[in-house]
Amino acid sequence: MGVQIPVVRPRRLRTTPAVRRLVAETRLHPAELILPLFAREGISTPMPVSSMPGVVQHTRDSLRKAALEAAEAGVGGIMLFGVPAVQDAIGSEGTNPDGILQQAIRDVVAEVGDSVVVMSDLCLDEYTDHGHCGVLAADGSVDNDATLLRYAEMAVVQAEAGVHMVGPSGMMDGQVAVVRAALDQAGHEDVAVLAYTAKYASAFFGPFREAVGSSLRGDRKAYQQDPANSRESLRELELDLAEGADLVMVKPAMAYLDILREVADRSPVPVAAYQVSGEYAMVEAAAAKGWIDRERMIMETLTSIRRAGANQVLTYWAVEVAQKLRLQ
């Protein structure tokens, strides 16, 4: 009689919810989620963003309430964006101590204190009348070094407003070093820098431009990364680390999970990923049509981003997911 060879059955570890939960390799936690919020100047009620169902441009009052809700849900961070009433060629409102973003920072810090990491976007695209992330040269190109001077000013006014972490997102060469030096020289050594290390010139940013009232005509391909390339992300990582980045980021997330994995494998500092407006809008639009299971899709996309190596995820679903996780 021959020896019976046992059948290897990986499915044994998939049989029940309890078994699947026990052996899950990747888990989500509220503290790993960061909620982007938009504060708009000069409005009396929150303004819905039509291309991002469920997302609004906040008044200062509604922003405080949203920040408190996020804190109570256990969300780890809040990333603030300002939408000014006036734009100009150099983005003056970005460095106005009483500009909308600086007001928003003060409001949110007063509301949540140190219970949530309060972060701010450090870029000029929301404030310029041409919609680019920097100051333009005479030929219409973005002047890298002139832009860095503006970023240094922005970093200091945001720190003086009380922010815990700044996020330079314009993809200017040397931005992390300049921001770090400006913060240190102004006595804000404890303000951390979340570097937008690999930010691609992506079609997934479309709805975001509505959210921040961007005036952009054309594109940002001359300074954001080419979606065809991956090696340059690792070069950007090396540079940002050498310049003093405390955290690094890949943006967008879902179409760039390969980049996220490579960055995460090499980074000695925490790695964030931004599940951007277009990723959010696609899921919401398909769910509204009844084509997908919305809740499952949200959890699956976030899990995939974490599985690819993100330690933190910026997502517009941060509060909803955090509340769900706390009930499990």
Q: Which of 221, 251, 289, 324 is the catalytic position? A: 251
How many other β-carbons are positioned within 10 Å of the β-carbon of residue 144?
17
**CA distance linking residue 312 with residue 280, whole number of Å:** 17
User: Is 251 considered catalytic here?
Assistant: yes
How many other β-carbons are positioned within 10 Å of the β-carbon of residue 72?
15
Q: Which of 199, 221, 289, 324 is the catalytic position? A: 199
- Phi/psi for 99 (5° steps) reads -65, 165
| Catalytic positions, written as ranges | 199, 251
